[in-house]
Structures are given as C-alpha cells and as structure tokens.
Amino acid sequence: MASAVGSAPSRAEVLSLFRSLLRTAAKFPDYNIREYTKRRTVDGFRQNRELSDPVAVAAAFAGGKSQLEIARRQAVVYSIYAPKAKSVMEIKAS
C-alpha cells in the first residue's frame, strides 16, 4: 500500500481493501461472525461511498485497514478454537 498517512487512497486501494475484508470474513468458522463481517463490510463501504472530503476518505480508509488487521488476527483465533459441531444454519435441513 503506497498511500501515506493522511493522503486519500486510490480507487484500486479501496477496492483491494474491500476484497481483503470479504476474503478474511470467509475465513471465520463461526456462522454468525462470518455473516456479520461480510454484511458490515458491504454496508460500511456502501455508506461511505459518497464521501468526498479527502480527509474523511483517508480517515475511513485508515479505519478500514485497522479493522482488516483485527479481522485477520481474530479469524486465526476463532479457527483454532472452532467447535466440532457447526451451527444448524450451516447444515442442510433434512
């Protein structure tokens, strides 16, 4: 990531962050956390789509990056301690 702190990210960087967040979301073994991370990412980026002030955009981008780091770490932790049984929502209804 070439953007320095405080300068607005490029469209490619924003898209890359979005995709990284969704990829990390898919790594959570917990159904509820996984769905929440995906949904929150999509809704968060959609909400900030109209931001025009470069300072606000840079701040939102930085916030997103720190959330990505948190998500990456927690995906590992949740995977290590994943329970054997999955949620009933993930099991096809018989």
Partner 1 sequence: MAAKLVVARLAGPRLFPLRLLPFSTAAVAADPAPIPHNSSAADDPDPVTVKGVKISGRPLYLDMQATTPVDPRVLDAMLPFYLSRYGNPHSRTHLYGWESEAAVEAARAQVAAAINASPKEVFFTSGATESNNISVKGVMHFYRDKKRHVVTTQTEHKCVLDSCRHLQQEGFEVTYLPVGKDGILDLDRLADSIRPDTGLVSVMAVNNEIGVVQPIEEIGRICLEKGVFFHTDAAQALGKIPIDVDKVNISLMSLSGHKIYGPKGVGALYLRRRPRVRVEPQMNGGGQERGIRSGTVPTPLVVGMGAACELSMREMEYDGRRIAALQERLLNGIRAKLDGVVVNGSVERRYAGNLNLSFAYVEGESLLMGLKEVAVSSGSACTSASLEPSYVLRALGVEEDMAHTSIRFGIGRFTTEAEIDRAVELTVKQVKKLREMSPLYEMVKEGIDIKNIQWAQH
* Contact call for residue 70 and partner 1 (CB under 8 A): yes
Distance CA 90, CA 86 (A): 7
Among 32, 53, 54, 55, indicate the residue that binds partner 1 (CB under 8 A): 32
**Which of 53, 54, 23 is closest to 41 using CA atoms?**
23
* Contact call for residue 27 and partner 1 (CB under 8 A): yes
* Contact call for residue 55 and partner 1 (CB under 8 A): no
6: left (phi over 0), alpha (psi -120 to 50) or beta: left
Question: Quick one: tokens of 54?
Answer: 């470069």
Among 7, 16, 36, 53, indicate the residue that binds partner 1 (CB under 8 A): 36
How far apart are CB 44 and partner 1 at their closest, in Å? 9
Distance CA 37, CA 32 (A): 9
What type of residue is 56? A
* Contact call for residue 77 and partner 1 (CB under 8 A): yes
What is the binding site for partner 1 (CB under 8 A)? 27-29, 31-33, 35-37, 39-40, 43, 67, 70-71, 73-74, 76-91, 94
